[in-house]
Structure 1
Amino acid sequence: MEFRTLGKSGLQISEVGFGAWAIGGDAWGPVDDQQSIRAMQHAYELGVNFFDTADVYGDGRSEHLVRELLKGKRDRIILATKGGLLGHTRKPEPIYDTPAKVIGAFEDSLQRLGTDYLDVYFCHIWWHQEQETEAFLTAFEQLKRDGKVRAVGVSTDDFAYLQTFNRYGAVDVLQVDYSILNRAAEGEILPYCEREQIGVVVRGPLQKGLLTGKFTKETMFTGNDVRQHWDRAWFTEQVDKVEQLKQLVQADRILGQLALQFVLSHPAVSAAIPGGKTEMQVSENVQASRRPLLTEEELAFIRSL
């Protein structure tokens, strides 16, 4: 496993982390809690030290499961969680509109995680609402001053919102959606983060599983799977692109690893956090952390799509 510095925070994190949304069980089909714990433990054994969750994942279920991983090794894990969406109506009216409410959500996460501090805490509200932005910034300052969190940031794909959130230079880390199939962050967000020394954690590097190459145009999603809401025309177009990408698959590099190596090839990126519900998925993801990454020719072919 290769490690990188998480921006100006100075934290040393594994370049392939573990995204714990799927194990919450509320958006990605059925999960088995014991299997989820084994998957995280396997990731740790393979060198992963960066684990990312959120209070809203499974309404706290994901954080409770991460708690099991932390036992006996809290000081060897870089732990991130996010707050601001749990109980939010996602309407313009503010919900987390005071620092006390933000700190209350933070403390609730600490309790579920069974720890007395966090390494990284993100605002999970990805749209700008002035009262909530100010509440988070004030709470961040207090939590840092009290030694309860080492780095803070925001999870958003909105460049203007990122700039607003960072107007006092308070953002240590950004979590952003970035992949071969969604390169919007390359335009303004990633160059800005490089200039501002903001660490970048990439969510969605496998584009919700599309970049594993396991789906066909006939694939259907059911139950609580968030992918059932995808526009079918868009889905078909993406499957066609993925088929072209398979030209770059090698005997020792499957498509998902190619996708992870693509985002890791960007100099602004600190880590990618693919999800994993099984030990096999974790093993495949972790194997993307090897050198060399992609060649200039391979990168050029990917961009040509």
Structure 2
Amino acid sequence: MDHRTLGSTGYRVTEIGLGTWNIGSDWGDVSDEEGREAIRTALDAGIDFLDTADVYGDGKSERNIGDVLDERDAYDDVTVATKAGRRLDPHEPAGYNAENFEQFVDRSLDNLGVDSLDLLQLHCPPTEVYYQPEVFDALDDLKARGKIDAYGVSVEKVEEALKAIEYPGVESVQIIFNPFRQRPSELFFREAARRDVGVIVRVPLASGLLTGKLDRDTEFPENDHRNYNRDGDAFDVGETFAGVPFEAGLDAVDELRPAVPEGTTMAQFTLQWILSFDAVTTVIPGSTSPEHIEDNVAAADLPPLTADQHHRVAEVYDEYVREHVHHRW
């Protein structure tokens, strides 16, 4: 699997990483051992970039990563990105301050079993936070004191991404991007490349829609966000099915199927499409299935998509998806 450089951090990371939201919470019941085995599978498949957050299972995801890296003595071989901010209650701009950052970082250091965080990301803060320079001054201070090696942001909106990269200390942006969320490939990708900012793509498979394995009869557990957050009742609706209404997403997937080459899964086709954009550093699909993790990694070595396939993705987006998402994020 090829590596790409994560902006100005100097980290060389695999094109396919592992997102670990689902081994922490909000995707049904996942045991600690299932979570650790998913991480082991990812490392065995060649992945060396793991993304987590302090709120995934209230630290469960971070601890599982720390356990596996410790048992394999692999801390120096893997880049771990975590996030902070969503522990705030209420989740308001004023909470994004130096005192709280210190507490959040210390907790993540303990959970992961490290002395310094490879990459700390603000965890989808309110838009107002991006207009407060003192927030980024506080992150600069944490970096100067050696508690974090680099920092970036995880955003909901392109507007937030563009504002964030005006701060010179921001070295990465995590954003939702897939065939159902194409707006980042316009201005933001150009600006990220121009400023040498790494791009981490999350929700690449639109919460499973772009695996092609969901249908109108699919039922989700009560504690799965694809059940309780379809209308944005718990957090930004864009995190669930990439903000596309479930039925419209299924229709769009049906229209995409003929473009997927024989022997390639819909998920692999989607990951290939994302990686065809040079501004993307790494994409972080999440799964607890060893088979799915290995299939995702294999996508990086498949032949590139053709011009006709790219054209079909654009057509389906325009006809079935654009009206639901393009203006919102």
Q: TM-score range by the shorter chain?
A: over 0.9
2:86–2:125 Cα contact (<8 Å) kept: no
Ranges of 4+ aligned residues in structure 1 off by more than 4 Å: 130-133
- Residues 40-90 of structure 1: CA distance to partner in whole angstroms, max 9, x if unpaired? 111101110000000011111111111112111100001110001013323
Give the RMSD, CA atoms, in angstroms. Answer: 1.9
In structure 1, runs of 5+ residues without a counterpart are none
**1:83-98 correspondence to structure 2 within 5 Å:** 83-90=84-91, 92=92, 94-96=94-96, 98=97
Q: Find the partner of 1:234 among 232, 245, 252.
A: 245
Tell me, in whole angstroms, the C-alpha distance in 2 between the residues paired with 1:134 and 1:189. 20
Tell me, in whole angstroms, the C-alpha distance in 2 between the residues paired with 1:144 and 1:88. 25
Q: Which residue of 2 aligns with 1:6?
A: 6
Change in Cα spacing, 1:147 to 1:35, as seen in structure 2 (3 Å) is same
Q: Which residue of 1 aligns with 2:280?
A: 269
Greater shift, 268-277 or 282-291, is seen at 282-291
Question: How many residues of Structure 1 are paired with residues of Structure 2 in the alignment?
Answer: 302
Secondary structure of 2:286's partner?
coil
Secondary structure of 2:81's partner?
strand
Q: Which residue of 2 aligns with 1:19?
A: 19
Tell me, in whole angstroms, the C-alpha distance in 1 between the residues paired with 2:204 and 2:156. 14
Q: In structure 2, what residue type is equivalent to 1:146?
A: R
**1:163-242 correspondence to structure 2 within 5 Å:** 163-228=162-227, 229-230=229-230, 234-242=245-253
2:158–2:183 Cα contact (<8 Å) kept: no
1:102–1:135 Cα contact (<8 Å) kept: no
TM-score between both structures, scaled by the size of structure 1? 0.93
Q: In structure 2, what residue type is equivalent to 1:147?
A: G
The yes-or-no answer on 1:281 pairing with 2:276 is no
1:63–1:113 Cα contact (<8 Å) kept: yes
Q: Which residue of 1 aligns with 2:109?
A: 110
Greater shift, 159-168 or 129-138, is seen at 129-138
Tell me, in whole angstroms, the C-alpha distance in 2 between the residues paired with 1:292 and 1:131. 39
Tell me, in whole angstroms, the C-alpha distance in 2 between the residues paired with 1:36 and 1:114. 17
- Residues 173-230 of structure 1: CA distance to partner in whole angstroms, max 9, x if unpaired? 0000011111121232222211111100000000011100111122232311111132
1:18–1:48 Cα contact (<8 Å) kept: yes
Q: Which residue of 2 aligns with 1:156?
A: 155
Q: In structure 2, what residue type is equivalent to 1:76?
A: D
Q: In structure 2, what residue type is equivalent to 1:189?
A: F
Change in Cα spacing, 1:126 to 1:183, as seen in structure 2 (3 Å) is farther
Change in Cα spacing, 1:124 to 1:130, as seen in structure 2 (3 Å) is closer
Tell me, in whole angstroms, the C-alpha distance in 2 between the residues paired with 1:227 and 1:154. 24
Q: In structure 1, what residue type is equivalent to 2:274?
A: V
Tell me, in whole angstroms, the C-alpha distance in 2 between the residues paired with 1:265 and 1:215. 25
Greater shift, 74-83 or 290-299, is seen at 290-299
Q: Which residue of 1 aligns with 2:54?
A: 55
Q: Which residue of 2 aligns with 1:243?
A: 254
TM-score between both structures, scaled by the size of structure 2? 0.86
The yes-or-no answer on 1:76 pairing with 2:77 is yes
Give the fraction of aligned pairs with identical amino acids, expressed as a percent.
32
1:157–1:185 Cα contact (<8 Å) kept: no
Change in Cα spacing, 1:152 to 1:227, as seen in structure 2 (3 Å) is same
1:103–1:139 Cα contact (<8 Å) kept: no
Greater shift, 59-68 or 162-171, is seen at 162-171
Tell me, in whole angstroms, the C-alpha distance in 2 between the residues paired with 1:278 and 1:130. 36
Greater shift, 166-175 or 70-79, is seen at 166-175
1:125 Cα deviation after fit: 3.2
- Residues 123-151 of structure 1: CA distance to partner in whole angstroms, max 9, x if unpaired? 11332234994453122212222233222
Change in Cα spacing, 1:131 to 1:164, as seen in structure 2 (3 Å) is closer
The yes-or-no answer on 1:301 pairing with 2:312 is yes
Q: In structure 1, what residue type is equivalent to 2:279?
A: A
Q: Which residue of 2 aligns with 1:67?
A: 66
Change in Cα spacing, 1:131 to 1:259, as seen in structure 2 (3 Å) is closer
Change in Cα spacing, 1:132 to 1:27, as seen in structure 2 (3 Å) is farther
